[in-house]
A and B are shown apart, each in its own frame.
Chain A
């Protein structure tokens, strides 16, 4: 039984399994450690139960590194299935489709979705070795679900840092475009006295309230529809647009009060 000593001996798939088990779901701490060790060493738990208690306690003390999450910065390139995969070179150059997919994955369950997040952020690169033509980072495609599973084999220590890196980027985007991302679905709309408004103003106000409710319900999808000028057939084209171009345009629409 080979027991890992550090995060660089643990795969993404093992990490996801480790995070999914909680000590409070077990009768005692030792039962939790049996399961933990079973995941880490790919050993049946009944075999671990037969282990000498002193050996077991010694192994437990070696697993102290698990109490802290991996903290290294992400590797710029990794090798999986004999393929060099490169980290997204500049997050600010991503297209809005990538951003929306990452948002959905991060906000639903970032650990469970880690292979998919990695599949978006680590891709093949065409190396041109040309002083005049940059290397080409693989375009986003429809391969996400197909290739995500291979990232379970990646070493967690090499890639976990992408989450922190992406979250910093995400915070920056949300801070800079805070007016666009006000998706709070609580009834926070400030009450305005409409009794003094004209009939036309009341109608405009009601429409604005309705639109705000729709944006709250659909979040980023509503922004996409806005960019597609409410034409669903254009969505596939819109998702390929650069994120910053989309956000700047939406901010401009909002500031100029241009409704689509």
Chain B
């Protein structure tokens, strides 16, 4: 069973993160629940795993142990026949509006902003290929809904790293 950043969707990561914040990660019950969230395997199936395989999965989902600096910044993302883009330029950097919105979200919701980050960065394009820069509450909520179950963490983490540089 392979668990890596390209298989963890945003909503799975959020559930994983929420559980890891309220539980003792060293507790075997919590570890089973965490793997259950990330792999869709039933608790019974996970309990049948050999201990070495169980430990290997646990190790692979430890985001802190993963070097993410080499992950590429993907500018265009397709999901459900819809194209989302983070920028029309060759390289991405946050704009003032995005940082402003994210500061507000992070202030209100400390660490749980993964889905908001994706919805603020990735926006749909019009017929001419131009990004539709709609940052209204409704538009962000809609994009969160569209992206959280399909976008995987390997897409978002490079942006997360850029954001951390901004807040350093």
| Interface set of A (CB-CB < 8 Å, partner B) | 27-28, 30-31, 34, 48-54, 56
Contacts and interface: CB of A to CB of B under 8 A. Distances in A.
Interface in B90-108: 93-100, 103-104, 107
A51 B100 CA distance: 12
B96 A48 contact: yes
Nearest to B163: A53
Contact of A30 (B93, B99, B133): B99
Given A27-B100, A31-B100, A53-B166, 17 more contacts: A28-B103, A30-B96, A30-B99, A30-B100, A34-B96, A48-B96, A49-B97, A50-B95, A50-B96, A51-B95, A51-B96, A52-B94, A52-B95, A53-B93, A53-B95, A53-B99, A54-B93
Sort A-B residue pairs by CB-CB distance and give the 5 closest, nearest first.
Answer: A49-B97, A53-B94, A56-B96, A49-B96, A53-B99
A53 B167 CA distance: 11
Interface of B: 93-100, 103-104, 107, 133, 166
B7 to A, nearest CB: 31
Secondary structure type dominating chain B contacts = helix
B103 A53 contact: no
Contact of B97 (A28, A50, A54): A50
Nearest to B104: A27
A30 B95 contact: no
A31 B97 CA distance: 9
A49 B107 CA distance: 19
Most chain A beta-carbon contacts within 10 A, residue among B94, B95, B98, B104? B95
24 contacts: A27-B100, A27-B104, A28-B100, A28-B103, A28-B104, A30-B96, A30-B99, A30-B100, A30-B103, A31-B100, A34-B96, A49-B95, A49-B96, A50-B96, A50-B97, A51-B95, A52-B93, A52-B94, A52-B95, A53-B93, A53-B94, A53-B98, A53-B166, A54-B93
Nearest to A53: B94
A31 B166 CA distance: 16
Nearest to A46: B97
Nearest to A34: B96
Nearest to A56: B96
A54 B166 CA distance: 9
Contacts of A53: 93-96, 98-99, 166
Contacts of B96: 30, 34, 48-51, 53, 56
B152 to A, nearest CB: 25
A31 B95 CA distance: 13
B88 to A, nearest CB: 11
Contacts of A50: 95-97, 133
A50 B107 CA distance: 21
A56 B104 CA distance: 18
